[in-house]
Amino acid sequence: MIVLGYNGFTRGAELFGRLYGARGIDRNLLVGHDAAAALVIDGEVVAAVEEERLSRVKKTSDFPVNAINWCLESAGVELDQVDVFAFPWRFSATVGERMISRICDTDLSVPAKFDALRRTGELYTGMLGPDAVYDDFVRRTGHELDPNKLALVPHHLAHLMCGAYLAGGGDAAFLVSDGRAETLSSVMGELCNGVVRVFDDSAVDMTSSLAVAYGRITRYLGFVPNNDEYKVMGLAAYGPPPGHNPLLERVVRLHENGSYTVSVPRDCDAYYALFDDLFGGDSEKREEFDFRVKVAGFAQHMVEAVTAHQLRALTAASELDHLLFEGGLALNCVANTKMLERSSFTGMDVSFGASDPGVAIGAAVYTAGLRNRPADAVTTPYLGPSYDEQHTLDALAEYADRVEWQEEPDGASVADRTAELLAQKNVVGWFQGRTEFGPRALGNRSILANPAFPDIKDIINVRVKHREPFRPFAPVVLTSEAPRVFEMGKKTSSPYMTFVFPVREEYRERIPGACHVDGTARVQTVDERQNPALAELLRAFTARTDVPCLLNTSFNVAGEPIVCSPRDALECFLATEIDYLVIDRFVVTKRDR
């Protein structure tokens, strides 16, 4: 059975921009953001890529025509050979009725209600509804699809199935929390023998979205909502835990069943006024670092307190000892670690597709049948495009007036030469194999550096990434070495940078570049099976330097998608102060170095 999952709407940006003013800093607040496609053949995910990697439009919500075409071409599959197309949104007639009722039940004036109904109606008929989804597919692909071959999967179910598949199946309690699905923002329950049971009484309406509240604080602090929340998470570490939190006192109400209510105005001016009142802020204070740290601490503490509240209810209702956490909020790796360590769960998984790129995988997996996952299926984030040697040589030739290169004979030589470069204070672009799926660079499209240099973070932030100097970087370490360097708690590995751990005291001075201000690090573990080239490089680097890890950040600059092709890599290399670029077996330098 062949199933293609995809996420994205052609008219999303146009309709949300015209109807709701979602432009500029709010440009990512669109249904269908992080558009992507994934191909499942006989129960196994064989290809997946985000549309942004190919179109080069960051966080695009557009219909993923490039991603669909690449997935099919990579597997030698034609559109008419696909058995089912799975879409991770299900705005059914029942959901439409709820949308209408919600507007009618508000205290808006009659003219305001009619205006809201008009806008919602245009959005539903022009984009969200089943007929609009079908028409969008036919128009963009040119394929006259049998309507029975289009499966609409509820959004939170797609999130859950992505996490369940990538965790290898098995029974687990689950929590899904994101900005919004069709009508909800968070659900929890159990997955047993492939059957999902949602604890309906603990579901949270989308009007009380914790992730949206965090995003509005992100915007309040001058960052881009639904994109820069990790900056807020990073800033929070610069201050002590808050003694009292006005957000928990005046904005959030926790309910006994594990649900909660979040009261933040939707209008931007109104929530700016609310936050100024809560935090003692104004337009000038919002620019001050200490004020930003204070507010970030409140926001982070709010997430940790609310998710802990949810887990208390979940553990009371479920006897399962393993937790799946998916949805955009699951990218808050600081909260993830605290959730696990402070709960009775013995294990917890957060996938590399936890945010909305993963719903393309989840919709396809659900439609194909989770139980049909082959026993020997490999769980890997390396599901995107790869490029052969000729493609690399053609790209190098295109830039031959600006770069020169040396070809290494084999993988071992590449690892030794790169380790030699990294032993010094060089920043290296590392481009190997298939593109990673998801928001994190996991060692195939990465920028690497030596964490033993205390100022290496400043060098990369300012000279390479062109971003704020307070931003931390993740260390990548061999799985076998991780417990020696980091306090891993209940975790034995962290392959997708979805957990944060304290750096052991004896290593903090040895890898200062990988330590955040609070002595923690967002760790990526790797082994020979997951990524042989990166594992070989780590062994060569450690042997040469006695430094047990490398600093790993995404191969891009602020505001651009992670590079995908050799040409993308060369463009980024030449536009920044990256010192060397390693593409497969080719070590590239700038002619004017």
d(CA 114, CA 155): 28
pLDDT digits (tens, 9 = 90+) for 143-198: 999 999 999 999 999 999 999 999 998 999 999 999 999 999 999 999 999 899 99
Asked whether residue 252 is assigned to any structural domain, the reply reads yes
**227-236, 451-460, 467-476, 487-496: least confident range:** 467-476
Confidence at residue 467, expressed as pLDDT on a 0 to 100 scale? 76
- pLDDT above 80 for 27: no
Q: What is the rounded radius of gyration, in angstroms, for the C-alpha atoms of the chain? A: 23
Asked whether residue 440 is assigned to any structural domain, the reply reads yes
Is the same domain home to 155 and 190?
no
In 3-state terms, what secondary structure has residue 589? Answer: strand
CATH of the domain at 445: 3.90.870.20
Is the same domain home to 397 and 516?
yes
Is the same domain home to 400 and 533?
yes
| pLDDT interval class at 465 (50, 70, 90) | confident
Q: Which domain holds residue 534?
A: 389-590
Q: Please, which residues bridge with residue 349 across strands?
A: 324
- The order of strands in the sheet holding 150-152 is 44-50, 36-41, 2-7, 84-87, 150-152
Nearest to 310 by CA among 331, 334, 333, 329: 329
Q: Please, which residues bridge with residue 216 across strands?
A: none
Is the same domain home to 131 and 185?
no
Torsions phi, psi of 407, nearest 5? -95, 125
Q: Of 308, 332, 366, at which residue does a domain stop?
A: 366
Average pLDDT over residues 54-80: 97
Average pLDDT over residues 248-261: 96
- pLDDT above 80 for 593: no
Confidence at residue 243, expressed as pLDDT on a 0 to 100 scale? 86
Nearest to 446 by CA among 510, 381, 398: 381
Is the same domain home to 342 and 423?
no
- pLDDT above 90 for 241: no
State the DSSP code for 62: S
| pLDDT interval class at 293 (50, 70, 90) | very high
- pLDDT above 80 for 210: yes
pLDDT digits (tens, 9 = 90+) for 126-156: 999 999 999 999 999 999 999 999 999 999 9
What six digits make up the tokens of 318? 């479920």
What six digits make up the tokens of 190? 């159990």
Given a contact cutoff of 8 angstroms between Cβ atoms, the answer to whether 163 and 45 are in contact is no
Asked whether residue 67 is assigned to any structural domain, the reply reads yes
Q: Hey, how many other C-beta atoms are within 10 angstroms of the C-beta on 168?
A: 11
Average pLDDT over residues 393-410: 97
Confidence at residue 378, expressed as pLDDT on a 0 to 100 scale? 84
Asked whether residue 379 is assigned to any structural domain, the reply reads no
Helix ranges, 34-154 (H)? 51-55, 65-75, 93-104, 110-123, 130-141
- Interior angle at CA 335, CA 482 and CA 244, nearest 5: 135
Is the same domain home to 443 and 561?
yes
- pLDDT above 90 for 496: yes
- pLDDT above 90 for 432: yes
Is the same domain home to 120 and 19?
yes
Residues of the chain with pLDDT > 70, as a percent, come to 99
DSSP-assigned letters across all residues of 512-581: GGG--TTSEEE-EEE-TTT-HHHHHHHHHHHHHH---EEEEEESS-TTSPPP-SHHHHHHHHHHS---EE
Q: Of 294, 319, 350, at which residue does a domain stop?
A: 350
Q: Of 335, 366, 397, at which residue does a domain stop?
A: 366
Is the same domain home to 527 and 424?
yes
Greater model confidence, 436 or 471? 436
| pLDDT interval class at 87 (50, 70, 90) | very high
CA-CA distances (angstroms) from residue 295 to 72, 298, 359, 470?
A: 46, 5, 31, 15
- Interior angle at CA 112, CA 108 and CA 113, nearest 5: 75
Asked whether residue 223 is assigned to any structural domain, the reply reads yes
Is the same domain home to 272 and 235?
yes
The mean predicted confidence, pLDDT, of the chain is: 95
- Counted domains in the chain: 3
Torsions phi, psi of 417, nearest 5? -65, -40
Asked whether residue 85 is assigned to any structural domain, the reply reads yes
- pLDDT above 80 for 417: yes
Confidence at residue 568, expressed as pLDDT on a 0 to 100 scale? 98
Is the same domain home to 315 and 396?
no
Is the same domain home to 146 and 176?
no
The H or E element that residue 502 is part of is strand 500-502
Asked whether residue 376 is assigned to any structural domain, the reply reads no
- pLDDT above 90 for 469: no
Is the same domain home to 150 and 176?
no
Asked whether residue 383 is assigned to any structural domain, the reply reads no
- pLDDT above 80 for 26: no
The H or E element that residue 38 is part of is strand 36-41
d(CA 315, CA 512): 38
CATH of the domain at 286: 3.30.420.40
| pLDDT interval class at 559 (50, 70, 90) | confident
Confidence at residue 362, expressed as pLDDT on a 0 to 100 scale? 98
| Amino acid residing at 138 | V
